[in-house]
Amino acid sequence: MFLYMSAVAALYGCNSGNSEKSDASGQKDKGNIGKVIYGTLPDGAEADLYTLRNANGMTIRITNYGGIITSWTAPDKTGKYEDITLGCDSLSDYLKGVPYFGALVGRYGNRIANGKFTLNGQAYTLAQNNGPNSLHGGIKGFDKVLWQAIAVDGEEPQLKLRYVSADEEEGFPGTLTTDVTYTLQKDNALSIDYTATTDKPTVVNLTNHAYFNLSGDMNKTVLDHEVAIKADRFLPVDETLIPTGELKPVAGTVFDFTKFKKISEGINADDQQIKFGGGYDHCWVFADNSNSLKEVASVFEPGSGRVMTVSTTEPAIQFYTGNFLDGTVTGKGGVSYAHRTGFCLETEHYPDSPNQPKFPSTVLQPGETYRTTTVYKFSVKQD
Ligand code: GLA
């Protein structure tokens, strides 16, 4: 059995190079994974910051507070590695409250209508932390808890995180044990593997909420990015962003991303769904509804040549274009994140599934293992 340690990271195995390295944060360590103290939480617990590197030069920093990806470098068409994620410079900045930058989201990613659902005849009440609805697991969701961590060195370094959520935490039934493994692959992909088990029937929908701006310049919007999503239907929502229950064909609508399209093309359309979302903030349902790992979305940023592809075992994806960013949150390097300076592709089951029996079930039973994988892979397209 694994011993999960938050204070001391076990470094297993050794990278063939085994040379001592130091990086911008002054961190010195051996191999492809390092760890420094990130800061202290209000309850006195210490959070750590891990750095995962691969031989190409990709560097991903992740803290065990919220499982947050704080930075992630990817090469442009000239080979220059730049940070392509939104986030904060310090733990204290994350603690001030930011909109889920890079965080693990649970127990239930996305919305549950009116913060209520019924399971096996029992009614459950959750925090209404987003208008009338419950969003992203509630007030102190998985993005705001300290995860136990094990760092595993190797050619493809891993950070293994565990969080045990108590029965009734944030209103959800069952003790839920969640394991998330981040693996930085040698092909410039980050794989995120999630498993969870419960001791009572419950609902689960886990995701990661990284915001990307592939230009590497967070002073720019993402409107020029070109997006393709292998989805033939999307979920129309009401004015509080709860799905109406309809699975609407994207054909003939501004939600059609079956071919690459600039985000700017439809984001300001005179369309009721776009108005409800303040832009794109909807769930797309994949044409391939198998639970195998399949490529579901790609994003291309013409200036840098960066391409990001998303593969997942999930049936759907929330494409959110940073419509709630309004310059009030200051991010890394003192940059104010203006409207639409980042986009998210959150792989998931459909929002509000616990209240919508026609949607694929998000119920997890004792004895079952919830299991899902999402891979974000970077490459470049030359002109
Ligand atoms: C999700 C939601 C958005 C917004 C962001 C966080 O992606 O769908 O409406 O709440 O999280 O700001």
What are the mean pLDDT values of the chain's consecutive 10-residue runs (383 residues total)? Answer: 39 32 50 97 98 98 98 98 98 97 98 98 98 98 98 98 98 98 98 98 98 98 98 98 98 98 98 98 95 97 98 98 97 97 98 98 98 98 86
CB atoms within 10 A of CB 117: 23
CA-to-CA distance for 131 and 141, rounded, in angstroms? 17
Q: Which residue in this structure is represented by tokens 């997006």?
A: 227
Ligand 1 contact, 109 CB (< 6 A): no
| Four-residue CA torsion sign, 87, 92, 93, 97 | positive
Cα 233–235–238 angle (5° rounding)?
A: 150
Report the candidate in 72, 44, 45 with the shortest Cα–Cα distance to residue 57.
72
How far away, in angstroms, is 289 Cα from ligand 1 center? 24
Q: Please state the length of the chain.
A: 383
Candidate list 136, 169, 170, 209, residue with the active-site label:
209
Residue among 86, 100, 273 whose CB has most ligand 1 atoms within 8 A, to mutate: 100
How far away, in angstroms, is 7 Cα from ligand 1 center? 32
With beta carbons less than 8 A apart as the criterion, state whether 315 and 351 touch: no
Report the candidate in 210, 220, 222, 208 with the shortest Cα–Cα distance to residue 335.
220
Rg (CA), the chain: 20
The distance from CA 147 to its chain's CA centroid, rounded to whole angstroms, is 16
Ligand 1 contact, 318 CB (< 6 A): yes
Where is 39: in which H helix or E strand?
strand 33-40
Residue 265 known to be catalytic: no
Output the pLDDT for position 383: 75
Ligand 1 contact, 102 CB (< 6 A): no
Q: State the DSSP code for 253.
A: S
| Burial status of residue 185 (CB atoms within 10 A of its CB: 0-12, 13-18, 19 or more) | middle
How far away, in angstroms, is 119 Cα from ligand 1 center? 25
Residue 209 known to be catalytic: yes
CA-to-CA distance for 137 and 170, rounded, in angstroms? 7
How far away, in angstroms, is 261 Cα from ligand 1 center? 22
